[in-house]
Structure 1
Amino acid sequence: MKAFDLHRMAFDKVPVEFLGEVALRSLYTFILVFLFLKITGRRGVRQMSLFEVLIILTLGSAAGDVAFYDDVPMLPVLVVFISLAGLYRLVMWLMAHSEKLEDLLEGKPVIIVTDGELAWEKLQAENMTEFEFFMELRLNGIEHLGQIKRAILETNGQISVYFFGDDEVKAGLPILPGKCVERFTTVPEENDYSCTRCSAIFHLHAGDRRNCPRCANPEWAKASRAKRIT
């Protein structure tokens, strides 16, 4: 085999005319995926549950194989799409009649922030880091956790946020990017400080050097009381 053989790299063993067949196969699979999404009424990948993403990945695998491989027949792929559409409809019907099955396949919403305090154990259980979670909150115009009455991680990965009124905002952990928030292991002045890991608020004095009683984290950030600008 000759290295850097451009003809082999571009066509391998298929003739040039096969490119036209690839175009036809791609159109065929595009139409099948489009029809599947129309039938199931999907809105967008961001709004898909784990089960629905699994269905789409399976469809993508079948569509990719039939589009590029000359030895993959087209009719069995149609059967795959019809079978998955039927399975999807069946599972949706079963979930509508079984809360346990719905919880198994879709999961449950998880409350991550309550009254300005982060439930970091729940966040870790959902395989989501504080950095990812805080980024999502910042996209909602949130500066610190004290502005949040309740934040819920939905089953589709989105975050629902309910805010305190301006006169109810509490001292909270600033969630701006790292360089925007100064962190201390030795407190410089008396004030309310927030644990940078679990967001617990404590009143500390100048020179205090202590670990968080809640999570043993040694780093602190000055708590913010900034109100939301709407």
Structure 2
Amino acid sequence: MKAFDWQRMALDKVPVDFLGEVALRSIYTFVLVFIFLKITGRRGVRQMSLFEVLIILTLGSAAGDVAFYDDVPMLPVLVVFISLALLYRLVMWMMSRSEKLEDILEGKPVVVIENGELAWEKLNAENLTEFEFFMELRLRGVEQLGQVRLAIMETNGQVSVYFYPDDQVKKGLTILPKYCNERFKVIPEHDDYACVRCSAVRQMETGDKLICPRCGHPEWSKASRATRIT
């Protein structure tokens, strides 16, 4: 095989006029995916459940094959799309009548903050680090966890946040990026400090060097008293 063979790299063994067929196949699969998304009534991937994302990935695989391979006929792909659309409708109907099936396929909402404290074990069970989760909260205007009465990770990956009134905000872990938030292994002065992993708040004395009894992490930051600015 010759290196940098531009004919092989560009077209391989297919004729130039096959590019027109690729364009037609691409439009064909685009229309099928568009119709499927219209059927589901979804506006974006973040609004989709795990089951729906799996359906879309399967459609994408079928669409990619028929768009680029000359030996993949177009009619069987149409059957794939119709079959998946019918499967989707059937599963949605079954889930509307079975809460257990809905939990299996869609998952359950998970409480990840309660009374200003992070449920970090549940967060890790969802394969999401606290730092990724904190980014989601910052986008919702949260500066420190004591502002949050309740936060729920929904089945579509979005976070529902319920806030304390300003006069009820607690001291909590600041969730600003690391470079905006000094961390300590040896406590510099008497104050309230929050574990940077699990958000547990403790009053500590100058010179204290404490491993968090809740999660075993050695780093602390000063607990924030900030209220929300709306």
Q: CA deviation at 1:163?
A: 0.4
Query: Residues of 2 paired with 1:166 and 1:215: CA distance?
Result: 29
Matches within 5 A, 1:62-141: 62-141=62-141
Q: Deviations over 1:51-104 (max 9, x none)?
A: 000000000000000000000000000000000000000000000000000000
Please report the TM-score for the alignment, with normalisation by the length of structure 2. 0.99
Structure 2 partner of 1:220: 220
User: Counterpart amino acid of 2:86?
Assistant: G
Structure 2 partner of 1:180: 180
Q: Deviations over 1:106-162 (max 9, x none)?
A: 000000000100000000000000110000000111111000000000000000000
Structure 1 partner of 2:163: 163
Query: Residues of 2 paired with 1:218 and 1:60: CA distance?
Result: 46
Unaligned runs of 5+ in 1: none
Unaligned runs of 5+ in 2: none
Query: Residues of 1 paired with 2:104 and 2:131: CA distance?
Result: 27
- More deviation, 31-40/66-75: 31-40
Structure 2 partner of 1:146: 146
Moved over 3 A (4+): none
Q: CA deviation at 1:39?
A: 1.4
Q: CA deviation at 1:212?
A: 1.1
- Secondary structure of the residue aligned to 1:172 is coil
In angstroms, what is the RMSD of aligned CA positions? 0.6
Query: Residues of 2 paired with 1:184 and 1:40: CA distance?
Result: 50
Please report the TM-score for the alignment, with normalisation by the length of structure 1. 0.99
- Secondary structure of the residue aligned to 1:149 is strand
Structure 2 partner of 1:49: 49
